[in-house]
Amino acid sequence: MTYIRRPVGRGVLVSLPFCDVGGTLAGDEVVHHALIEAARGLAADCGLNGFELRHRGAAIPGDGETAPIKVSMQRALPGDSDTLLGQFKAKLRSQIRKAEKNGLTGEVRTDVSALDAFYPMFAENMRRLGSPVHGIDWFRELLAAYGDRFRIGLVYYGDQVVGGGIVLMNARSACIPWASTLPEYNRLAPNMLLYWRLLSHVCDDGAEWFDFGRSTLGEGTYRFKKQWGAAPFQLDWQQWTLDGLNENEHPAAPSPIARWVRELVERGWRQLPLSVTRWLGPRIRKYITL
């Protein structure tokens, strides 16, 4: 569990911040409940009223695609990228080829210079979305910790980086917590080439699952990930008090007021100069657990 101290108000105790999934790792209910009790004690020691656990639930049909719930989009991978390409629908394969015909090129790297090429494009897109950006030092620390399991996908139009994504790998799976493209180049379909390069790379490297990240059921990012064959698994983000599980509060589904405030802040953030958001963003982002 991670305790994040905030300059105003109480801190938060989360498993895990900046991640879709954390929570307890237990082989049976006895161990699970023991971990809950330990978390409750840790929260009390920190002077908090509770803590947050982020679990991933079971797969859901997703057919109606109307409920505004947060889901984790997962796809099983075959043994090689040729088989994977053959599993895609003809329309998807055509979109990948279109990106290549449009003059885009892509690569996957693991070096610091690739991160330095990725970050300016990422920071620019985060400002466009109205979101404070992680500092580049955060990504450098991740690269140092993960080593060659930290993969950086880059898409170019000529010498210009127009899209990129960061993939973290473990023994059996790969996830993509951060990805962006420059909107003025989206007509060239950089996202299609980016995801194909990353999917084919991790597939040939032995990954059995690809985690496309969090989406709201039925919305744009959900449909984008679904076309790659990803299936939704409901996210069960639990708020615990010192007395027990709070069934009425779900961090993954914010209230209408919280959504309104967030939209207001995002509109203001988009108006700031890029240099300001690159300086100020990391100083704010470290307190935001999403």
Model confidence over 14-24: pLDDT tens digits?
Answer: 999 999 999 89
pLDDT of res. 60:
82
User: Do 30 and 100 share a domain, yes or no?
Assistant: no
Within-domain flag for 214: no
Segment 80-116, tens digit of pLDDT = 999 999 999 999 999 999 999 999 999 999 999 999 9
Residue 96 belongs to domain with CATH number: 3.40.630.30
Alpha carbons 226 and 10: distance in angstroms, whole number: 38
The structure's pTM equals 0.91
Within-domain flag for 111: yes
**DSSP code string of 169-227:** E-SSEEEEEEEEE-GGGGGG-HHHHHHHHHHHHHHHTT-SEEEEEEEETTSHHHHHHHT
User: Do 85 and 195 share a domain, yes or no?
Assistant: yes
Within-domain flag for 230: no
User: Do 122 and 242 share a domain, yes or no?
Assistant: no
Within-domain flag for 273: yes
Within-domain flag for 15: yes
Within-domain flag for 215: no
User: Do 111 and 173 share a domain, yes or no?
Assistant: yes
User: Do 198 and 107 share a domain, yes or no?
Assistant: yes
pLDDT of res. 245:
87
Within-domain flag for 272: yes
User: Do 185 and 256 share a domain, yes or no?
Assistant: no
For residue 202, give the nearest of 168, 225, 231, 252 by alpha carbon. Answer: 168
User: Do 102 and 8 share a domain, yes or no?
Assistant: no
Residue 132 amino acid letter: P
pLDDT of res. 63:
59
Within-domain flag for 62: no
What burial class does residue 247 get, using C-beta atoms within 10 Å of its C-beta: 0-12 exposed, 13-18 middle, 19+ buried? Answer: exposed
Residues of the chain with pLDDT under 50: none
User: Do 200 and 261 share a domain, yes or no?
Assistant: no
User: Do 101 and 194 share a domain, yes or no?
Assistant: yes
pLDDT of res. 253:
56
pLDDT of res. 254:
64
Total domains, the chain: 2
Helices (H) and strands (E) in the chain, counts: 9, 11
User: Do 92 and 49 share a domain, yes or no?
Assistant: no
User: Do 105 and 164 share a domain, yes or no?
Assistant: yes
Segments forming the whole domain that contains residue 84: 78-207
Asked which of 186, 207, 228 is the last residue of a domain, the reply is 207
Asked which of 187, 207, 227 is the last residue of a domain, the reply is 207
User: Do 51 and 83 share a domain, yes or no?
Assistant: no
